[in-house]
Amino acid sequence: MKIALLSATALAGSLLSGPAMALDTSSLKVCGDGANWPPFHYKKGENIEGYDIDVLNAIFQDSGVDVSVDLPPWKRCVFETKSGNYDIALSASYSEERDRDFLLTDYYYTLQPSYIYSTQQHPNGLNIETADDINQLRMCGLLGYNYTGFSVDDSQVRKSAKDFKQLVKQTQAGRCDVFLARYEILAGFKAAQGIDYLAGGMQVEPIPGNMGDKFHMMISREHPEANEIKALLDQNFESMRQSGQLKSILDGYLD
């Protein structure tokens, strides 16, 4: 399903600052995670909303560029962007593979990597003092996700779950000691959709020593104006970050 960008905050009309950069392209096809990634992008009824949408609106709404957003499964979003069927993939953490396959923009938000365990399975908690301690446990994550920024061995993360509901069930059933997630995303589900993945005795803890995971947009190298798109986004991310406008948009979803 393709949905044109809709403004979700009153700030969007005044956010763009600095000299405008023009693109020759008249449209951009963007994708995000179909499992939802609130508060950054998620379906609400027939609309796609969230921080990512507001940021794109702020940059492109007066540019003459028609931007549309789809939310297919994340693995397909990444594959189709690499192939050139989408121009931009939203909310991607860094990895060497992604840096090779795509043009990564400057970061436009940072999240806190965390581990979540069941207090029913581990009533005395887990003796976690360093990130390497987590490597000794059975770690679970979402299909197609990258956990390099979690300070753990990404190759040891079992990635079979299609959504957080499955991750919670796997952990509660004892098939995983922990599942990995960014705390803000779990909070976003509760704030935006009323879904509390930490109910029922699930305990969330920050990964020791990890100061945060930066997120980027991934631009398809197949797009003829890939470098120009990156330059435009980077310029706006920097000016919006320095002015506090990115924080203002995000705070509107987390307050």
Q: Does domain 113-206 sit in CATH 3.40.50.11930?
A: no
Residue at token pair 């990564």: 104
CB atoms within 10 A of CB 189: 21
Angle at 80 (CA atoms; ends 235, 96), nearest 5 degrees: 60
Can you give the residue ranges of every domain in the chain? 3-8+26-109+214-254, 113-206
Angle at 160 (CA atoms; ends 159, 163), nearest 5 degrees: 95
CB 93 within 8 A of CB 149: yes
- Residues facing 214 on adjacent strands: 110
Same fold, 3-8+26-109+214-254 and 113-206: yes
Q: What is the pLDDT of residue 136?
A: 96
pLDDT tens string 191-240 = 888 999 999 999 999 999 998 989 999 999 999 999 999 999 999 999 99
Q: What is the pLDDT of residue 21?
A: 63
Q: Taking the model in full, what pTM does it have? A: 0.79
Q: Which residues of the chain have pLDDT under 50?
A: 1-19
Question: Superfamily for 3-8+26-109+214-254?
Answer: Periplasmic binding protein-like II (3.40.190.10)
Q: How far, in Å, CA of 121 to CA of 172, rounded?
A: 7
